[in-house]
Amino acid sequence: MKQTRAGTEKLLALHEDEVKKLTAEYRQRQELYNQGLISRAELNQTERARAAAMIRMDEDKRWIAETDIAITEASMRDVLVGLPAMAPGGYSESGTLIRFNGTASWSLADAAKIEKFFSQAFGHVLPITAFGQTPTHDRLRFDHRNAMDVALHPDSNEGRSLLSYLRQAGVPFIAFRSAVPGAATGAHIHIGSPSVRAVAGADSQGVCCKR
């Protein structure tokens, strides 16, 4: 069955409840274990179930974020195509977009450098939602093969710091400030060339026509 956003939101609510229930159960069992009433194995069993439920919950959240970001880009495609071409090294900022036409020959293979910069600066991993082409992009008939998306608001502390790193390194990016209405998590930073082409083989209607 095809995964939908509404369906995933329902699943997320179920998985969140599951985590809550298992967290309460774990605390209860910990108490029982401390009193010597249950074995370590019984306690571990609940701990494992709770960890698995948390993974399911995080996967739902990641899928929703990835989908909202891809929809934001696809729906901004016409706007991006209509913007005046930027000179190499050009930079522009508006209420919705920040664009930088960096001149470094960047490819996805160079992503590790950016991830390293970020984790050293902030002590956690770069929140990448899409690395290259994903099934969501295929569905939207959107060419995202040589780009990656990072779920950071460009005006946040971490977002600003990432953008200034990318500018220094000459890596092209487009930062989306505002989400498309209804897609609460659409603000993000797209690293790599803009994905304005529809994937080869896509129909002449271009991206995202069936709604």
Contact footprint for Zn ion (CB under 5 A): 73, 147, 149, 190
Q: How far is the CB of 19 from Zn ion (least distance, A)?
A: 30
Name the minimum Å distance from CB 142 to Zn ion. 9
- In the bound state with Zn ion, the residue whose beta carbon lies nearer, of 15 and 190, is 190
Q: Shortest gap between Cβ of 201 and Zn ion (angstroms)? A: 20
Q: Is the dihedral of CA 131, 138, 94, 183 positive or negative?
A: negative
The phi and psi torsions of 192 (rounded to 5 degrees) equal 115, 180
- Please, where are the H alpha helices in the chain? 5-34, 40-75, 77-82, 111-122, 135-139, 157-169
Give the nearer residue to Zn ion in terms of CB position, either 60 or 143: 143
**Among candidate residues 109, 76, 88, the one with its CA nearest the CA of residue 176:** 76
Instruction: State the residue number with the nearest CB to Zn ion.
Output: 190
Q: Look up residue 164 and give its DSSP letter.
A: H
Instruction: Rank residues 65 and 147 by Cβ distance to Zn ion and give the closer one.
Output: 147
Tokens of 71: 């929809």
CB of 65 to Zn ion, least distance (A): 12
Q: Which is nearer to Zn ion, 41 or 109 (CB)?
A: 109
